[in-house]
Amino acid sequence: MSELLYKEIYPVDKDDFVRAGEASAKIKRTLKQLGVDADKIRRTSVVSYECEINLIIHSLGGQMCLEVTDEEIIVSSSDKGPGIKDISLAMKEGWSTASDSVREMGFGAGMGLPNMKRHCDEFILNSAPGAGTEIVMKIKI
Ligand SMILES: Nc1ncnc2c1ncn2[C@@H]1O[C@H](COP(=O)(O)OP(=O)(O)OP(=O)(O)O)[C@@H](O)[C@H]1O
Ligand SMILES: [Mg+2]
């Protein structure tokens, strides 16, 4: 059994571009304080930032969670909807439903989810239209 060393939850609101990146910044700070290896912090920062921005842009709001055990870093998210219709399409590089105004802010390249999968050791995405989306990403320590 792995031992839970740290757990924190960060609410993330829909369209809250003013606070965008705050949850990821807190996650990064915590990992530094816990003395986690720099490369693991870098990978966790990539996945947590992409995940947070997706909650802001695509979801109706939700939360992120950081758990650190003696074996792994777990970043997860759950949101209130609208869910993802076609997960394999959403996982494709370059596929995005982002609006023009979101693209003008520099998001919407369709690279977030593939990037998240690439930078973690385990990636789980559960989603259904009408329900919400849940993502669990694990990085081994
Ligand atoms: N939490 C979510 N809720 C609903 N749909 C989502 C969620 N996260 C991702 N999606 C859907 O999956 C698509 C692909 O996501 P991905 O992060 O790869 O690209 P993007 O956010 O559109 O662009 P980028 O991440 O490059 O700025 C999104 O355009 C959106 O349709
Ligand atoms: Mg994205």
Task: Give all domains of the chain, ordered by start, each with its CATH number.
Answer: 4-140 (3.30.565.10)
Query: Under 8 Å CB-to-CB from 5, ≥6 apart: which residues?
Result: 34, 68, 69, 70
Do β-strands 133-140 and 72-79 pair in parallel, antiparallel, or remain unpaired? antiparallel
- Condensed to tens digits (0 to 9), the pLDDT of residues 53-84 reads 999 999 999 999 999 999 999 999 999 999 99
* pTM of the full structure: 0.97
Residue with tokens 């076609």: 86
The confidence score (pLDDT) of residue 1 equals: 80
Give the SS3 label for residue 53: helix
Q: Which atom of ligand 1 is nearest to the CA of 54?
A: 8
Q: Which one of 96, 101, 125, 133 would you pick to mutate in the ligand 1 pocket, going by the greatest count of ligand atoms within 8 A of its CB?
A: 96
Q: What sign does the dihedral 11-12-17-20 (CA atoms) show?
A: positive
- pLDDT tens, position by position, 84-117: 999 999 999 999 999 999 999 999 999 999 999 9
Between the CA of 121 and the centroid of ligand 2 the distance, in Å, is: 19
Specify the residue with its C-alpha closest to ligand 1, atom 25: 112
- pLDDT (tens digit, 9 = 90+) per residue, 28-44? 999 999 999 999 999 99
